[in-house]
Structure 1
């Protein structure tokens, strides 16, 4: 029984060390060959949560085996319960908050309605120019034309009136502040 607990504890510690120290390099070197380890299913079954549960099972089993007078069956059952609590705790206290803290700089062109921009390349009457918009922490450039076909000089402030998603162009109108 003690060998099982030691194996679980050592395997979990080894997994943690390898994933922290060599995780990115190993994934890059193997060109995603280990991607099957990230399970598709319920989010609670993350490899990190499962391995932390196995590690805690080994550690709790060793402590219960050595320092309590419980039977081997009771020791395994208690160690499994402690491991489940630890794995669920790992998910809710670490993994889930980390997943929610990730932010995306992605946006949809349809979200640009009403945004203020600046003309980078002049928009000729009935033609196309280029505008620059600030989105999040970045800057993006888009092809634009005058909403009413008017010409707009470079450096002018404009507002996006309409988005033509099929053509990928923005219809803009000059704004005077």
Structure 2
């Protein structure tokens, strides 16, 4: 039985090291081949963690507890199942919800409010900063109405042409019924 536990422990450690070193390459090569499995609990990190804990618990219980092989096997399985649930609830599930993309498209710019960071001359280019999610992005800007716009004022992106955001000064309406 100790060979089984040692094998599970070694397999888990090897899988973890390989995942850290070349996990992205393997993931890109397989490209969603296991997406049909819709159980979040069958995450490779959870399964690997359970196998590793099973092996480690089995070795420790065999060496230091004095329990019979059947009891060590059952207790090792319980410990592995418990740790898999803890790993899933404490790490995998919260991380799944915390993913945020910072990607955007220039087509998303029209209608966004930004701030002039480099003054925009009446006939030329400046720069605006627009907030996307948790980050800011800088874009080349030109005046939509061919008026100079000083740094620090709020603008709204009217349209995007050839990678340039055409902006107009943003005027907040006060007291308007919405």
The Cα of 1:14 is off from its aligned counterpart by: 1.7
The answer as to whether partners of 1:38 and 1:47 remain within 8 angstroms in 2 is no
The Cα of 1:9 is off from its aligned counterpart by: 1.0
The Cα of 1:11 is off from its aligned counterpart by: 0.7
Q: Cα gap change, 1:35/1:63 in structure 2, threshold over 3 Å: closer, same or farther?
A: farther
Matched residues in 1 for 2:160 and 2:129: separation?
A: 16
Work out the number of aligned pairs and report it.
Answer: 164
The answer as to whether partners of 1:64 and 1:70 remain within 8 angstroms in 2 is no
Report the counterpart of residue 10 of structure 2 in structure 1.
10
The Cα of 1:163 is off from its aligned counterpart by: 4.0
TM-score (norm: length of structure 1):
0.65
What whole-Å deviation, never above 9, does each CA across 1:121-175 have from its counterpart, x for those lacking one?
A: 5344xxx8553215355542145443xx3x2236554433354479985441278
Matched residues in 1 for 2:153 and 2:103: separation?
A: 22
Q: Cα gap change, 1:174/1:99 in structure 2, threshold over 3 Å: closer, same or farther?
A: closer
Q: Gaps spanning 5+ residues in structure 1: where?
A: none
Aligned-residue CA RMSD in angstroms?
3.8
The answer as to whether partners of 1:133 and 1:140 remain within 8 angstroms in 2 is yes
What whole-Å deviation, never above 9, does each CA across 1:12-71 have from its counterpart, x for those lacking one?
A: 122223333x336xx54x693355687563333221121010011112223334424245
The answer as to whether partners of 1:119 and 1:154 remain within 8 angstroms in 2 is no
Q: Cα gap change, 1:43/1:111 in structure 2, threshold over 3 Å: closer, same or farther?
A: farther
The answer as to whether partners of 1:38 and 1:46 remain within 8 angstroms in 2 is no
Matched residues in 2 for 1:121 and 1:41: separation?
A: 51
Q: Cα gap change, 1:81/1:165 in structure 2, threshold over 3 Å: closer, same or farther?
A: farther
Matched residues in 1 for 2:110 and 2:62: separation?
A: 60
Local SS of the residue matching 2:41: coil
The answer as to whether partners of 1:61 and 1:79 remain within 8 angstroms in 2 is yes
Q: Cα gap change, 1:62/1:118 in structure 2, threshold over 3 Å: closer, same or farther?
A: closer
Q: Cα gap change, 1:46/1:170 in structure 2, threshold over 3 Å: closer, same or farther?
A: farther
Identify the range of structure 1 (10-19 vs 100-109) with the bigger mean alpha-carbon deviation: 100-109
Q: Gaps spanning 5+ residues in structure 2: where?
A: 172-178
Report the counterpart of residue 48 of structure 1 in structure 2.
45
